[in-house]
């Protein structure tokens, strides 16, 4: 056997043993399946499923530009402009106890080159809600005043750390809230500004009439306040009447011993709403014991709302303020707001 025959025989044997064959064709890897964002209509419009979960998320907020007008609105200037931005995330999912909800609302305000984004006010709300119970930083019912910009029906910050429960059945609702009262000064007893309060509200709608009864008790000041608001659809608009009584200086209401307010929101058409309003305050001064006395005061004004286009609105308000035995003053603002 010569060398050539030996080499060919060896190659044939090796191919038989190893099973050598032609190179396989190159096959491109299949792309990973993509999960597109799905609309979630279980909790209303604007929600979508977070990919890979059964949690629905809604994103909203607004951008507001406003110029305030009034005596010494900014130091010695009679006007002051600011820009505010708010972003809110609402997450909901179904559980055996009902809808599990969490809300995070972030707010920043720029005024004179300064921003509140690095301050505690940046968190406007953050809470968890399930089966009527809500815990976290939230707005109290005292924040729900009338629609115009003339009335003052609450005092101090209306968002606070609270534990609350609200029962709702059709047009009826009732709730109670345990509140941390902080951020309004030490009061009249010299104690630290970190106190405790209880507030509660019942409300109902009866045809064209809606009524709200609210109370709050400041355990540190040992004073409380009661507020009632009634709305009635009359003619082309809605009449609102409100009253507040305070036993003495307290967190929830400390503007006066008692007050009454009224407004009429006249809806001219889908774009224009005119809301004249007025309010009377009795005994606006507070003594060293937290008791009211002294002068009375009143305010009257007009608020104009104009819907420029979908999600863009303008608001203008002007109020005349008068304290018995004191100076009068005209205040107001011009606002442009884009919501989403």
Q: What b/e readout covers 242-265, taking b as 16+ CB neighbours within 10 angstroms?
A: bebbbbbbbbbbbbbbbbbbbbbb
Mean pLDDT in residue range 205-217: 97
100 versus 119: the higher-pLDDT residue is 100
Number of Cβ within a 10 Å radius of residue 214: 24
Residue pointed to by tokens 């984004």: 117
The CA distance from 106 to 88, in Å, is 6
Q: What is the pLDDT of residue 25?
A: 62
> Count of CB atoms within 10 A of residue 297's CB?
20
pLDDT in tens, 277-299: 999 999 999 998 999 999 999 99
259, 241 Cβ separation under 8 angstroms: no
The DSSP line for 277-296 is EEEEEE--EE-TTS-EES--
Q: Let me know: does 159 contact 182? Beta carbons within 8 Å.
A: no
Nearest to 134 by CA among 155, 160, 158, 156: 160
Listed residue (89, 112, 111) closest to 102, CA to CA: 89
6: pLDDT confidence band, cut at 50, 70 and 90? very low
Instruction: Tell me which of 2-6, 153-157, 174-178, 335-339 is least confident.
Output: 2-6
At 74 the pLDDT is 81
Residue with tokens 């968890």: 128
The Cα 328–Cα 333 span in angstroms is 17
Amino acid 2: pLDDT: 52
**Predicted confidence (pLDDT) at residue 206 exceeds the cutoff of 50:** yes
Measured between alpha carbons, how far is residue 72 from residues 79, 150, 156, 329 in Å? 7, 19, 21, 11
Distance, in Å, from the CA atom of 340 to the CA atom of 202, rounded to the nearest integer, reads: 31
Q: What is the pLDDT of residue 76?
A: 84
The CA angle 126-129-135, to the nearest 5 degrees, is: 60
Q: Quick check: 199 and 140 in contact, CB under 8 A?
A: yes
The pLDDT tens digits of the residues spanning 32-47 come to 666 678 999 999 999 9
Residue 4 pLDDT class (50, 70, 90 cuts): very low
Alpha helices in the chain (DSSP H): 3-18
Structural domains of the chain, ranges and CATH numbers in brackets: 132-339 (2.40.160.10)
Looking at residue 20, its pLDDT comes to 45
* Count of alpha carbons within 13 angstroms of residue 41, beta-carbon side: 0
The residue behind tokens 């109290």 is: 140
What digits encode the pLDDT tens for the residues 108-130? Answer: 999 876 555 545 468 999 999 99
Whole-number CA gyration radius for the chain? 32
Report the alpha-carbon distance of residue 334 to residue 69 in Å, rounded.
8
Q: Model confidence over 212-257: pLDDT tens digits? A: 999 999 999 999 999 999 999 999 999 999 999 999 999 999 999 9
């Amino acid at each position: 056997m010569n060398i050539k025959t030996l080499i060919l025989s060896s190659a044939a044997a090796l191919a038989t043993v190893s099973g050598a064959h032609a190179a396989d064709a190159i096959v491109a890897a299949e792309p990973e399946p993509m999960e597109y964002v799905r609309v979630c209509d279980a909790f209303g419009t604007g929600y979508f499923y977070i990919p890979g979960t059964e949690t629905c998320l809604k994103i909203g907020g607004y951008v507001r530009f406003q110029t305030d007008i009034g005596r010494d609105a900014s130091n010695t200037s009679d006007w002051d402009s600011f820009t505010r931005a708010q972003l809110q995330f609402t997450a909901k999912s179904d559980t055996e106890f009902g809808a599990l909800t969490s809300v995070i609302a972030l707010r920043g305000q720029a005024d004179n080159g300064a921003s509140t984004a690095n301050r505690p006010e940046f968190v406007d709300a953050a809470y968890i809600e399930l089966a009527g119970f809500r815990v976290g930083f939230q707005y109290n019912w005292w924040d729900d005043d009338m629609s115009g910009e003339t009335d003052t029906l609450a005092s101090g910050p209306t968002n606070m750390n609270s534990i609350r429960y609200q029962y709702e059945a059709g047009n009826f609702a009732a709730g109670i809230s345990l509140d941390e009262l902080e951020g309004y000064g030490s009061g009249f007893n010299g104690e630290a500004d970190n106190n405790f309060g209880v507030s509660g509200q019942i409300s109902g709608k009866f045809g064209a009439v809606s009524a709200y009864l609210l109370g709050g008790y400041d355990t540190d000041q040992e004073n409380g306040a009661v507020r009632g608001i009634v709305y009635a659809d009359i003619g082309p608009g809605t009449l609102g009447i409100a009253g507040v009584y305070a036993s003495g200086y307290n967190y929830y209401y400390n503007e006066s011993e008692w007050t009454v307010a009224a407004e009429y929101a006249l809806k001219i058409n889908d774009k224009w709403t005119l809301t004249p309003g007025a309010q009377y305050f009795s005994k606006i001064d507070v003594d060293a014991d937290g008791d009211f006395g002294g002068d009375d005061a009143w305010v009257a004004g007009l608020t104009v709302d104009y819907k420029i286009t979908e999600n863009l609105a303008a608001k203008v308000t002007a109020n005349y303020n008068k304290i018995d035995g004191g100076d009068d003053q005209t205040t107001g603002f011009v606002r442009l707001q884009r919501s989403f």
